[in-house]
Structures are given as structure tokens and as C-alpha cells.
Amino acid sequence: LFETLISDSTRLLGHDAAQTLEARGGLAWCLSEMGNLQASRGLLEQLLSDQERVLGRESPHALNPRYQLAWCLSRAGATLEAIANFEQILLDQIGALGARAPETLATRYDLAWCPRKLGNISLTIEMLEPLLIDQVPVLGEAAPSSPLTKDLLQRTQSTRTI
């Protein structure tokens, strides 16, 4: 479906049209969700290059594929590369969207997962505690990400005490 949409959008609107770029991002995300991380990474890297060329690196629209690429890297086990990407995205999100924007909070959550994957439980806890404090006033106790953060924090804390 995305491939047809991309083909039609490219033909009708052009390779660099916002709708075409968005459809390409959707295809990359679907591939990532299906576990085809290598193909997703390749599409995201090309999409990111095109979006930055068309929109500029600081564009809020360029943040999403950068986030998707970092998430894909994390999921593929390229944790150190993912950390570097998440850290840069976080700085750019804070500048473009604000420190308490939902997207910024989501990046902080995903960034906190990375040290845990590397066995750095203390750093994960140090990152999750202030995140939870920031999430609740912005998103509320019942927002899906607040209980996820609380659960990850509790599981990580219990890992440290074992």
C-alpha cells in the first residue's frame, strides 16, 4: 500500500513533496515494525537526507525520521549509535518543540532504555526518575507513556537490588 502511495505521490506531486516524504516515512516505519530493520534503516537514511535537503536540518518535520532512525538503531542492537542519535534529537527537539513536548518526552524515554541495554542500570534510573516527574503534569497519570515509564523504572530499580 505504501509503495503504491509513494509511486503515485512521486508521479503526481514530485519526489520532494511533503506527502511523498511522509509516505516514505510510513513505509520505513512499517518495515521496522515488521522486523526488517536493515531495509527500514536504509529508507530512513535516504528520507532523512532528502528531508534535510528540502526542509533543512532544524525543521520539526526532519525530527521524526531522525527519531525513527534512532529507534530503529536501538532495536537493531546498535545501541551506542542510537544513544548518539537520540541525544542529538533530544537537543533539537528541546530547541524546536520545548523540553516538555510529548515528542521530547518520548525521546527521553527511548534514550533511557539504551543504557539499560548496556547494563548501566544506575544511569537508566537517573534518566527515568525526572522523566516521570515531567510526564505526569504534561501527559497525565493515565496517558499510556506515564505507566510505561513507571513500570520501566520499577523493573529497572528491582534489577539493581538483585
Tens of each residue's pLDDT in the chain, 162 residues: 788 889 999 999 988 988 899 899 999 989 998 999 999 999 999 999 998 888 887 777 788 889 999 999 999 999 999 999 999 999 999 998 999 999 999 999 999 999 999 999 999 999 999 999 999 888 888 788 888 899 999 999 998 765
Cell of residue 26, nine digits: 510510513
Tell me how far the alpha carbon of residue 76 is from its chain's centroid: 13
What distance lies between CA 23 and its chain's CA centroid?
Answer: 17
Distance of CA 28 to CAs 21, 42, 102, 154, Å? 11, 8, 22, 32
Q: How far is residue 45's CA from residue 39's CA, in Å, rounded to a whole number?
A: 10
Query: Measured between alpha carbons, how far is residue 4 from residues 1, 7, 8, 106 in Å?
Result: 5, 5, 6, 30
Which cell numbers hold the place of 128?
A: 527515568
